[in-house]
Amino acid sequence: METVKSTERVRCGQLSSQKYRSSIRSCLAASHVMSNVSLDQKEQVATSHITYADLESVDYKYLLCGQSDGGLAIYDTSVVKEGCVYGEVGSIKGGRRGTHKYQVECVQWYPADAGLFSTSSRDKKVKIWDPNRMKLVDQFDMDCHINHHQMSPVATKHSILAVAGENGEVILCDLRTGTSTHRLTGHEGPVRATQWSPRRQHILVSSGRDRTVRMWDIRTSQAFIMALDGNHQVGENSKRAKKMKRIPHAHVGQVVSFCFTHDGLWLLTFGHDGELKLWNTSTGKKMDVRYGEMLIDSRRNLRMAVTPSMHPDLVFLPCNTKVLVVEILTGRLVNVLSGHFSTVFGALYNPSSMNLYTFGNDQNFITWTPKVFESNDFEEENWNTDLQELPKRNRVTQDNWSSDEG
Amino acid sequence: MHLFTPMNEKKDLLFILTTRYCAMILECVGDGDQLEILTRAHGNVADKIGKPCETGMIAIVDPQARCIVLRLYEGLIKVIPLDKDNNELKAYNIRVDELQIQDIEFLYGCSNPTIIIIYQDTHGRHIRTHEISLKEKEFSKMPWKQDNVEMEASTIIAVPEPYGGAIIIGQETISYFTSSTHVTVAPALIKTSTIVCYGKVDANGSRYLLGDMSGRLFMLLLDKSDDRPEALVKLELLGETSIPECLTYLDNGVVFVGSRLGDSQLVKLNTEPDASGHYVTVMQTFNNLGPIVDMVVVDLERQGQGQLVTCSGAFKEGSLRIIRNGIGIHEQASIELEGIKGMWSLSVNSPKFNNTIVLSFVGLTRVLTLSGEEVEETEIAGFVSDQQTFLSANVKYEQLLQVTGTSCRLVNESTGQLVCEWRPPEGRNISVVAANINQVVAAAGQLIYYVVIQPGTLQLEAQTTVEHEVACLDVSPLWEEEMASVVAVGLWTDISARVLALPTLEENAKEFLGGDIIPRSILMTTFEGHHYLLCAMGDGQLFYFSYASATGYLSDKKKVVLGTQPTTLRRFRSFSSTNVFACSDRPTVIYSSNHKLVFSKVNLREVTHMCPLNAEAYPNSLALATSEGITIGTIDEIQKLHIRTVPLGETPRRIGYQEETETFGVITMRVDVMGDIGLRSGGTVASIGAHSTSSAITTSSLLKPSMPPPPELGQEVETHNLLIISQNTFEVLHYHSFHLGEYALSICSTRLKDDPTVYYVVGTALVNPEESESKQGRIILFSHAEGKLQQLVSIQDESQILDRGEPKPAFGRLGKARQVVFKQLCESRSDCDDVLRPVC
């Protein structure tokens, strides 16, 4: 992709601007380098670190972080304050009344707007918060430890929180009534994570320590619709699986992370065996894509990030101390981001600023910016000081994109 | 937007899909002129999530109109089943495993709707067919497939029955596939360019037109004889057209070539080749300005009217277009005669057409007759020819009127004899005169005489004295009046316009115009039922008032500047509306649109006089007197864009205008083929005809390592050039070619700090094919003087500035950016090592 040539072709109308844009974007996304922007953590206790984070999907601005001491913090990623930090919008320290007793396992913004968020912890509680007042508004008490929870990003007919319980059940909690409606049983051993399908609002996928990845339709009384089979090509449906008396395993090791692609057509799973697998979500078929061997020594839930609507689509996969950038459909390794000193817990991609955020066990939070922007940053420092007052991130994005995206 | 015509009834319906995912089916109802478009069905087919396709949206309609298939999102195919009485379009998705679908088409002659797909994966491009089961909303089976077709296969043509199957067009080959057989041909002809579109000629699908990126038109023949199982595929070159975007075969060998990069054309296919072996003749071209990559607004004739010069088109269709607003006069004939002071058209003994033009010079009058297209000089017996005529007209009772400085002469039209002569009393000389078919108003100094035309006589009705000398007069009858009820007068000294009532010559209204320039022409006229008084001054200004005939008051005084020279107002009719022609150095047509006066420039240099002319050979024309002669022409429809095309034959990229040297600097790009001796370019390009040429000289060691190796034989190379084009003739004065791989990205004309010379400043980027982005570029200063272009300074720019300038084309054009950069440039020019620091 020669940028100069392509721009001219776009101007003449020979190249569709959409194609150009998406290829430039993924080109940028593939070239992330570390930036010196970090979080404003002055007021935080030094020993606590971020265990889980989520970016709201309305204007990709506010970053919600769960801390290891049970505290919570919200940062505004659109403004870079002095000292290269993102400003804190609101926070609640761990140990205060209402906060989680133990470390926060999972946080999630309410998908429709940034007026609500939910957190869960190993203290058997799921809490619903109002971010404007930073106050607890509701709380679900579970009878088991919670590993993960999620709300459907596309649901219009329900507002159900799917909670992955340590006792092997997926517990569905209805936000409207404030009670748990029903439980999906089947996993032998703890459920590690749950994900709703972004395409169909009743489809839920869960992974457990029993190495299975199951797909449920919450409307049916059936056990589950299918379980992904890592050994065979086609996913087993529940009837056949019952006959076989064995539910197929998706991976040899337990699944530490899984994620739908942005369009919901594919499911990516990452097992403790170091394999990344791509599944067709409608048939449950494993796609024949080889991603190569990756080593992973953590059994913790990891959060991987996918890029929306790019060509080719990329996945940011936390793998020990590095973050791998891989093309989803071809399996090509595009970039390796190394910067963390210890295990990376998760990666978050911001589609509007094209930044990548990662957090890990080394208590660092790193922002990665596309390379082109970074070189701009470098020069900017030599430039006039009176321009420096502008928020840096803002200006950089405007400079480069205003002419093309209009 | 995609247009399709499904056939499910007697009549075709139109399916439209917009880029905002709205789909609709339209029907055209009515016959003749009364057509109405009805929406049969509509709906939105957008998905909440999904990745839009890279290769654009594709919509296809089943040949038997059972369903519509849309390809909008990656990995999904949307099916809209077609029911008769459903006015809502509802779609459902079918998941396809094939990613990166290049093209999709319905096959003909299948019991269930069947689509054929070209898709790409890591191994290459493949063809699949899928049968759609409308009941189960999924693909039922795959009738046939063909793996590994050509790597660049991009287009499918579904062939109708009885042939069936599909034609796959790639970069080098054309293949014909059916479920059982396939034929592949690789004509050498198509290799040099890419086939971009096709058009079906015959309903049975045996002939297709193909168009490629270099604008060549091909005919693809599919010949299937009964005794052979395999069909024959033949390709023939027909000729050259614009670069097509779509081809539609209309009828009788006429093809519409729709072009995005150049003008669309209507071409006729001939059965016999012409002298150059082509079968194509262009019948009509439709102007297309796009794609406009850059443009400048200039005032070429310094008339205060901006013109737009755009860089339009691409490749061989590249051109500069000069666009201006105004009225066009189509010149039909011209006569060379100098010093015309006045001009009137008469009809002597011909009731329908004008056949005579009376021309007035200083001290003499000449009469021309028009017989057919011939012009000859004659005489009218009753007219004096040794005096300057002030006015001449056809008047009532089949008489002609000639007014000279001394007298008004009434002449019988049929005999040509003088029947009456009226002289102002006391031997005064007529200074200004105005007339209509019934009345004559003449002024001698401060005296105004009102004369009525009777059969055979001129009768003085009234006379009056005004305060100052009369400068101009008008006695035009207002709307639907037989006799004018008022006379408009412009006076010397106090510079006023007055309206006098007839026949008493009492003053109705008076309006001071101000200033010390005398009014030169006054006119009462009616536009769209409103009366106006127009008064043109000696310096090109025009005052206009609205005139209320009931009260006789003038109101709403307004002023416009039409030109700089004395202006004469003449009325004429065009397309059944009244217009006023203002003759001056910037001729203007005044007309009314929505009860507002509109002043529209005419594309002529200078007009001194004008008269409407409705001759047999020149119907509904205007005779325009200029300083050199008379031009007879017809007038365009009012207010139209005028587009002049300067073909370049190469892609214009950027344009800059330099007022001081009266030149344009145009950056162009063209694709050359490496030949035996050097670069060779195909077709006629503007650079070849340049008066002088130069090419870039490597001045710095910095360039050398990044220079690409010389291209191999037959390889296509993009070269960037700077053309200096004259603003008057649009000839290429100079042509400068840049290095290979050096992309000129921006141009502007500027003056450095205190230096009086103007420079063209060109910013370039050095593109290395291996790198995705270029890391360096140059800023080059050119000065153009006496037809020569000198490369003055070239500054290496290591800091990627031009490359960053490239996403924002405004770089180097932003006044601020430019000045700051070049001030620094100017200062650093003295010392050799330029350190260019971008300041903003």
- For A406, name the nearest residue in chain B, comparing CA atoms only: B808
How far apart (Å, rounded) are the C-alpha atoms in residues B736 and B739?
A: 10
User: Inter-chain contact A313–B807, Cβ cutoff 8 Å?
Assistant: no
Instruction: Give, in degrees to the nearest 5, the angle at Cα B571 between B566 and B574.
Output: 130
Q: Report pLDDT for B824.
A: 42
How far apart (Å, rounded) are the C-alpha atoms in residues B223 and B206?
A: 7
Q: Report pLDDT for A401.
A: 41
pLDDT under 50 in chain B at which residues? 680, 682-683, 697-708, 792-840
User: Inter-chain contact A14–B314, Cβ cutoff 8 Å?
Assistant: yes
Asked whether B393 and B401 are in contact (CB, 8 A), the reply is yes
Q: Report pLDDT for B399.
A: 86
Q: Hey, which residues 256-285 in chain B have their CB within 8 Å of chain A?
A: 260-261
pLDDT at A38 exceeding the cut of 80: no
Q: Report pLDDT for B479.
A: 67
User: Inter-chain contact A384–B76, Cβ cutoff 8 Å?
Assistant: no
User: Inter-chain contact A19–B669, Cβ cutoff 8 Å?
Assistant: no
Highest mean pLDDT among A17-21, A294-298, B392-396: B392-396
Per-residue pLDDT band for A123 (boundaries 50, 70, 90) equals: confident
A174 pairs with which residues across the strands? A160, A179
A16 CB neighbours in chain B (<8 A) are 54, 56
Question: How much of chain A is helix, strand and coil, in % rounded to 5?
Answer: 15, 40, 45
Which distant-in-sequence residues (6+ apart) come within 8 Å of B168 by Cβ?
Answer: B118, B127, B149, B150, B153, B155, B156, B174, B175, B176, B177
**How far does the CA of residue B772 sit from the closest CA of chain A (Å)?**
5
Q: Report pLDDT for A380.
A: 38
pLDDT at A42 exceeding the cut of 70: no
At A299-317, the pLDDT tens digits run 788 888 888 777 778 889 9
Q: Report pLDDT for B781.
A: 73
User: Inter-chain contact A375–B50, Cβ cutoff 8 Å?
Assistant: no
Domains of chain A: 2-396 (2.130.10.10)
Q: Report pLDDT for A405.
A: 39
Q: Hey, which residues 162-181 in chain A have their CB within 8 Å of chain B?
A: none
User: Inter-chain contact A12–B314, Cβ cutoff 8 Å?
Assistant: yes
User: Inter-chain contact B95–A282, Cβ cutoff 8 Å?
Assistant: yes
How far apart (Å, rounded) are the C-alpha atoms in residues B390 and B404?
A: 5
Q: Hey, which residues 203-262 in chain A have their CB within 8 Å of chain B?
A: 262
Q: Report pLDDT for A205.
A: 92
Which distant-in-sequence residues (6+ apart) come within 8 Å of B675 by Cβ?
Answer: B713
Asked whether B413 and B398 are in contact (CB, 8 A), the reply is yes
- How far from the centroid of its chain's Cα atoms is residue B713's Cα? 40
Give the pLDDT mean for A12-18. 69
User: Inter-chain contact A154–B743, Cβ cutoff 8 Å?
Assistant: no
Asked whether B420 and B457 are in contact (CB, 8 A), the reply is yes
pTM (2 decimals)?
0.69
- B95 near A CB under 8 A: yes
A27 CB neighbours in chain B (<8 A) are 772
A8 CB neighbours in chain B (<8 A) are 293, 653, 669
- B323 near A CB under 8 A: no
Question: How much of chain B is helix, strand and coil, in % rounded to 5?
Answer: 5, 55, 40
Q: Report pLDDT for A128.
A: 92
Q: Report pLDDT for A388.
A: 36
User: Inter-chain contact B804–A376, Cβ cutoff 8 Å?
Assistant: yes
A·B CB contacts under 8 A: 92
Q: Report pLDDT for B703.
A: 41
B765 CB neighbours in chain A (<8 A) are 4
In sequence order, what DSSP letters do the residues of B518-549 get, joined into one string?
A: PEEEEEEEEETTEEEEEEEETTSEEEEEEEET
Which of A94 and B360 is assigned the larger pLDDT? Answer: B360
Q: Hey, which residues 288-317 in chain B have their CB within 8 Å of chain A?
A: 290-291, 293, 314
Q: Report pLDDT for A263.
A: 84
Asked whether B649 and B685 are in contact (CB, 8 A), the reply is yes
Q: Report pLDDT for B303.
A: 55
How far apart (Å, rounded) are the C-alpha atoms in residues B122 and B138?
A: 26
How far apart (Å, rounded) are the C-alpha atoms in residues A278 and A290?
A: 9
ipTM: 0.76
A22 CB neighbours in chain B (<8 A) are 54
A404 CB neighbours in chain B (<8 A) are 807
User: Inter-chain contact A262–B51, Cβ cutoff 8 Å?
Assistant: yes
Asked whether B410 and B421 are in contact (CB, 8 A), the reply is yes
User: Inter-chain contact B807–A309, Cβ cutoff 8 Å?
Assistant: no
Q: Hey, which residues 302-321 in chain A have their CB within 8 Å of chain B?
A: 308-309, 311, 313
- How far from the centroid of its chain's Cα atoms is residue A63's Cα? 12
At A128-179, the pLDDT tens digits run 999 888 888 889 888 888 999 999 888 888 889 999 988 888 999 988 888 8
